[in-house]
């Protein structure tokens, strides 16, 4: 069955493929959808998908496997977020300087 998909949203990029809901607390975690496109809204980037019943659905991109974190790295085994090393070193310097100033 071939579907004809038309968009009138100028922000939709036209990307086509499959996406998966990966946010661990989302009720549809693990479900896979056909990607119709991406758009930007005042609430952030969204993806428009087609569910298995042929209905359009919209999800925040950070709920999907398309989301790439730029400020942290996800450690899949522990579901833990770690700041980049440079940020941790700056934090250590700040804590050290506060400690030194309190000792004097």
Domain residues of the chain, as ranges? 1-68, 69-104
* Dist. CA 71–CA 12, nearest whole Å: 25
Instruction: Say what the pTM is.
Output: 0.52
How many of the other CB atoms lie within 10 Å of CB of 65? 13
How many of the other CB atoms lie within 10 Å of CB of 47? 24
DSSP secondary structure letter of residue 86: H
The CATH number that domain 1-68 falls under is: 2.30.30
* Dist. CA 54–CA 18, nearest whole Å: 14
Place of tokens 């700056």: 90
**pLDDT 10s digits, 12-22:** 444 458 999 98
Tell me the range of 12-21, 65-74, 92-101 where mean pLDDT is highest. 92-101
């Amino acid at each position: 069955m071939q579907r004809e998909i038309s968009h009138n949203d100028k922000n939709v990029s036209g990307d086509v493929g499959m996406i998966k809901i990966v946010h661990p607390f989302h009720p549809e975690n693990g479900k896979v959808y056909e990607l119709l496109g991406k758009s930007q809204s005042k609430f952030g980037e969204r993806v428009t998908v087609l569910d298995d019943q042929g209905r359009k659905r919209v999800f925040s991109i950070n709920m999907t496997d398309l989301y790439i974190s730029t400020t942290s790295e996800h450690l899949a085994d522990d579901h833990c977020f770690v700041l980049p090393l440079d940020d941790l070193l700056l934090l250590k310097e700040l804590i050290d300087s506060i400690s030194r100033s309190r000792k004097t």
